[in-house]
Structure 1
Amino acid sequence: MASDRLVAVWDLTGPPPARPDSPAMLPAVNATEDGRFLPIPPGAEAVRLHIPADLGALLTSQPARAVQWRAQTRQAFHALLGDGYRVTDFLAGDAPAYVLSR
């Protein structure tokens, strides 16, 4: 399966990035059940981008679905980063997601 890498830059001398209140309540830009990319809500200052809870297990049990998730996540990251969003948080748990903010 293809692999994606992000480069994180964190200016330790500056203020920390703003983290939205109640990130679990932010609009999602992909479906939690299959990763399908959804339209970015107009004017959204922050959104959630879900990833599979256990990509390794998904890759073993449903490799085609895991590859589909990876491709859809890549598409979403390209669209969001290209639209000025930056990763500002991560939500762990049953529905893990990156939080991206403008």
Structure 2
Amino acid sequence: MVVSISLCTLPAYFWINIEAVFATQPTREPVHAPLLAPEGREALPEIRSGQRQAIDEIAELNRNISTQQADLKRVADQREALTAKIVSLQNRPFAASVPRLLLRLHLVPF
């Protein structure tokens, strides 16, 4: 009987105190420079400088990609407009366009 009562009360206790259980879990502290070997501490500023340079280069590459994507969209839009114009010109009746062309070229008297 004692076992059954404890089996019923333990889950209730943990359910009520679940926030306290998760709040007290230790978090991992980052490794600090004093834990590094002397060679590692000497190389750390150079590594950080390299990281900053890589971040700047990646940002510049992202800007270039954005510019190229905008240029590509503009060219694609122009191509689409020209294709639509070509299709509309090809769908014109040939007989109606020839006299106007000949008049413009002054091959037919007025």
Measured against the shorter chain, the TM-score band is under 0.3
Question: Between Structure 1 and Structure 2, which shows a larger proportion of strand residues?
Answer: 1
Question: Between Structure 1 and Structure 2, which shows a larger proportion of helix residues?
Answer: 2
Greater relative contact order (CA < 8 Å, ≥ 6 in sequence): 1
- After TM superposition, the score normalised by the length of structure 2 is 0.23
Instruction: Mark the structure with the bigger radius of gyration.
Output: 2
